[in-house]
Amino acid sequence: MKNIPTAGTSGDDTLRHHYLRIDGQRVHCVSAGSGQPVLLIPGWPQTWYAWRHVLHALAEAGFEAIAVDPPGIGESDRPAHGYDTGSAAAVLHQTMQALGHERYQVVGHDIGMWIAYALASDQPQAVQRLAVTEAVIPGLAPEPGIFAAPADNIFLWHFMFNQVADLPEALISGRERAYLDFMFDRWSYRRDAVASETYIAAYSRPGALRAGFAWYRAIPETIRQNQVRAQRRLTMPVLAIGAEHATGNAPMLTLQPHADDLRGSVVPGCGHFIMEEAPQAFLAQLLPFLQEADHAA
């Protein structure tokens, strides 16, 4: 496992970019600060850059914040397989080990929440605390009805579409901007805060659409795994945060039957892209939770 750090490659000298080889594939992550490690996992269709505000805030608070591009996302490799959350969680755990961290805290957004749950469940000896936001978890949450109301369907329609083989790529290739802007426009509340140009560029690269859709095509396997995970409860402290104009209290309700020590909140005046749209309100919930680890140690 080789770690090649480079400083300032995103125009910010306070950030350190790392390129690691994990089981033969490249994994890219960006770190800031020093102290207790915190792994930040983004969702789809974003990259590590969604955590830029959180990276700096955690670094200033005395943490080492590590935002990762999971397999298939951003500057990480796009393997043909391994998009079920168990496989992804194993890669990210090895990534943290390669960075020198056997025990760490985890924060996940959207699909990153799926991976974060799998990581906490599969590696409880490593995950000190778990914070998740803006998703429900396949296999834990009830399956939505096919005839969902339009206000709900705007957050649901892509789950079935993205799972279809070949058709999404055929329709969207060359039209990535129209497809992604549709979601950024409708899933956000503070649209100007979302770095959509960065994400459109990332998902316009060769293979990026296919890799993004692979997370959805792996949902049946993720559900199978989560039905097994559901038989063991999370014993570490868990924080579940929703956004008023997106999932609301659904993240907390999803994990309520599965965590011994769960707390939750809903950030007002915010859409799905919570770390970008309302970073201060998000950090007001997240930072005290992570800092509790100092007192518990």
Residues serving a catalytic function are 110, 216, 272
Question: Nearest-5° angle of CA 96, CA 98, CA 103?
Answer: 40
Question: DSSP states of 73-128 as a string?
Answer: STTS---SS--SHHHHHHHHHHHHHHTT-SSEEEEEETHHHHHHHHHHHH-TTTEE
Cα dist. 35→126, 147, 202, 279, 291 in Å? Answer: 16, 48, 30, 21, 11
100 within 8 A of 35, measured Cβ to Cβ: no
d(CA 247, CA 195): 20
Q: E strands within the chain?
A: 3-7, 16-22, 25-32, 36-41, 63-69, 104-109, 127-133, 238-243, 262-267
Q: Residue 270 forms beta bridges with which residues?
A: none
What's the CA gap between 228 and 295, in Å, rounded? Answer: 32
Read off the DSSP letter of residue 234: B
